[in-house]
Structure 1
Amino acid sequence: MASPVSQKLEEKLVCSICLELFRVPVTLPCGHNFCKCCISDHWHKQEQVPTGAEKGYTCPECRRGFEQRPYLEKNVTLCSVVELARDGEARVSGTERCEVAQGELCPQHGRPLELYCQDERRCICCICTVRQCQQHRRVLFEEERSKKQALLKESLEKAQEESKRIEQVMQKLEEQTRSIKDSSEGLKSVILSKFALLKKALEDCQWQTVARIEQEQAAALGRVEEDWSLMKDRLDLLGQHRERAECLLACPNHRTFLQEFPLLPSPEILKVPVPTEFDAASMVKPIAEILTDVSRLLLEDLPGSVAPKAPDPIGQDHRNLTFDPKTANKYLELSKGNRKAKHSPSAVCGQQEHGPRFEPWQVLCTQGYGHGHHYWEVKVSSHSVVLGVTYRSLPWEGQQGHKFNIGLNGGSWGLQVREDCYLAWHEGRREKIQERLYKNLGVSLDYGKGLLSFYGIGERMQLIHSFHNVFTEPLYPVFWLCEGRTVTLCQRE
């Protein structure tokens, strides 16, 4: 590697006009040196001024002016030094090509690679420093490697975190596979037993229905398997990335490290696949229509996953709920025991506690429910309310075009009570249900079967609507109240 003194000496032998080693160097009265042809061309351009304009000659280095064009004499000493430098460059280039490995030589000049150019992102030799990279940012290999090594370590940490996240996603996908299999097999068993009781005329419908269930199961499992394979492939790529990154970090050669570093791309963050759902309700609906025409008696004892029965209102599954004041919109006034919520638009209600609050007129319940069966009842003062359940991740802000966000995403389900009907909301889609308005409403959640049902409570319990889904997180009761409306959580001993 050339010494710093030799590098500075080579820089002094370069013409500031052409940035090459001097060719026939000449000296001006101000003491600066240039190639004779370079300074002559420079002054020739200064002479090409419009007629009548003042002519003059200046030094390109110090801008000193001369009234007359100076006489140029060859700098004999400088010319000899330049020739020696040219000879030395040729000899060193020849010897170093033999002594230094090909990968350690500059591909343009054949000189040893000594510095790293940050502007051009490549290793350079001393001639590159003088010619192409004189005004660039140049650093030692060790300094640049230290920066790149920090970036690589950060990339390795991100890859490890991403691997853990993907493993968790893959575990959830495996759980979805088991849930879909259990749901589909159970539904197939129910359908087969029911069609066995019907006449021979319904046998064709039986096998068509079973085939459709198996087709939907295969499609759902196929999607889950594709997601699992995608996660597995991504995990393998991250493993390869970690191995290459660790190997590169252990590389003792700075040049090899810097040359290999750009070839190792940073791992990209992969989006978590949307959970695959097995919609049993959509397959049961046409069957129920056929069976209804044949015999209503056969439908009355279908299991809850097909046609859910009304829950026992005094059973052990009844839950006493309370509102969570920390989540309540500022216009919702809660009772002392947090069992009654009233929309009071005239003033801000309650203490402003720390933590997130709903921007829409909504409030969550404190209780969240997972496995098992759960039932609760509420009393509404009038229409223009929404009751439902949601994962804890329901957004706190509102959604443009809607006064509420219950049922507008894949993690919440809602029943909107209107003056003339009900609207069932999920994933932003609504289904209209024509049914009379009930002041008392019951909600039944069978978490394991993925069944959420809403009932009207009168002389008898009337099913209003049921949702069929595969639940993956605890569900929290949630409510939206229009101005002047009141919702009361019914309590039982």
Structure 2
Amino acid sequence: MDSLDEELVCVICRDILVDPVTLPCGHNFCNNCVVQLKHWARNAEPGTDDEDDDNATPTSPSLAVPCYTCPLCHSSCPVSLELKRNVVLHNIIERHWQAGASSLSCDLCKGVQRAAADKSCVNCGESFCALHLMPHQENPTFRDHVLVKPTTNISRLCKQHGKELELYCQTDQCPLCAYCMLPTETSHHHHQVIKLTDAASIIRDECKRELAKVDKDLAAVDNGLCDLEETASAQKDKLKKQEQTHLDFFRKVQLFLDIEERAWRKRYSVTCAQVNLMVDRKAAKLKQSQAILRQAKGTLQIAFGMENPMLLLQVLSSVRSTKIKEQDLGLKELQEVTNHLKNIVPEPHFTKKRNIPCILTALGELFSNQVIQLDTSNAHAQLEISREGITVGAVEGKHNEVCSAERFSTSFNVLAKKGYITGLHYWEVSVKNIPSWAVGVAYQSIPRVPPGSRLGTEENSWAFSCSKGGLCCAQHNTEVMYFRYEKQLENIGIYLDCDSGILAFCDADSVQCLYTFYCTLNAPVFPAFCPKFNENEEFSMVPMVIHSGIID
């Protein structure tokens, strides 16, 4: 750095002076740097420099004027003093900028007017002025960097010698300068070295080979990305399906719990109504006896004050004639009614410790794939049943010519092989695209000939049917309920709680309860199926499919 450059540098910002001002001590600084000094002086508390000195002299109030010090000579300067621009120095700096405008400028200088570059570093790839070149001269980290005269073609210089790259080493595939081939340099001895101008075709071939490698790697990466996306998509679909399966499972469990809750509410409501009716009837008779006895008591109490024997005899005779006989008081019947009421709610009552494990165990058994197989021995002759016994469809011609009293003669019915008398049971039936159908349960004693062979028409069967047009019917003997369902039913779920006497039919797809029967089972009931409920409907090519448990 020459003496002129040193005089034009602000010691505060370490850059060329911008809008220089002169302090009273004679030193020059940038105007913005002096403004920063004044700001620091205003924010500084008085006496902070001597707060740890016990012998410090207190500042006089008359001298407590905010001041800042010159960074070079530490002379004080009042903050209130207005400094003027050093015009002469400003003009010198302008001429200095004009002189260096045509040369290469420093890459690190700030502002629009940057200082001229003094050196270019081949290793850093940047040019520096004398000021910003100091780290390369003083820091040991940069001592191995090659410095050359300012140039814009730093990339064409050798990073080891700073000379122009003129040669090409085919062995190492790198450019060289003339100094790289000196006898003192052993890196490229015995290598194939040619002129850099003659190496264009060789380098182009190398580029083609490298391009082929890049294309190969790119294709592999593209295929990997494709495989990754396909795998991720497949896994997302699988996760979504698993999520839907679990959600459907929990929704159905919740539906079954709701059905059980409604059933128990109804059961308790009916029991309470029976208790109220029994109590009201007995209480009415007891209240009648109570009124007669109270009247007799009042008459006898009045008789205590009478002196006439004849009147006393009349009162006694009257009371005895109206007195209720002991057997008519109803006290014996009252004891029987009381015992009956106590037996309505048996001990012990519902407890979490005893009942919850039973409920959870029953729910676990509910979804343990209880296999349902159709019994071909009682099937209608025009029913075609699969070898596995899980599908059934109605056909126009007789599928089984064997006549048997166990077969249904007119109704297209078939019962399952196994019946249920205890526990929880659930199965689903696919009825999609079947014009008319019926599902339900029936005793083994259901008639095989009309009129009781039609599901739901008598006391020995319960049925839920649907005809073309969406008309649904739930029927058990005289209990008949017709309604229209807003959706097309495709999968029907049948929930059976034998111990509680609950038979519920559900839309397995939307998980909605369609109808619930409350019944008392006296014998095992068998799942019943009818793929052609209305005889005037056409035959369907689609069979019923029975699923033991939840449809996946």
Shorter-chain TM-score category? 0.3 to 0.5
The alignment's TM-score, normalised by the length of structure 1, stands at 0.36
Higher relative contact order (CA 8 A, sep 6+): 1
Return the index of the structure with the highest Cα Rg.
2
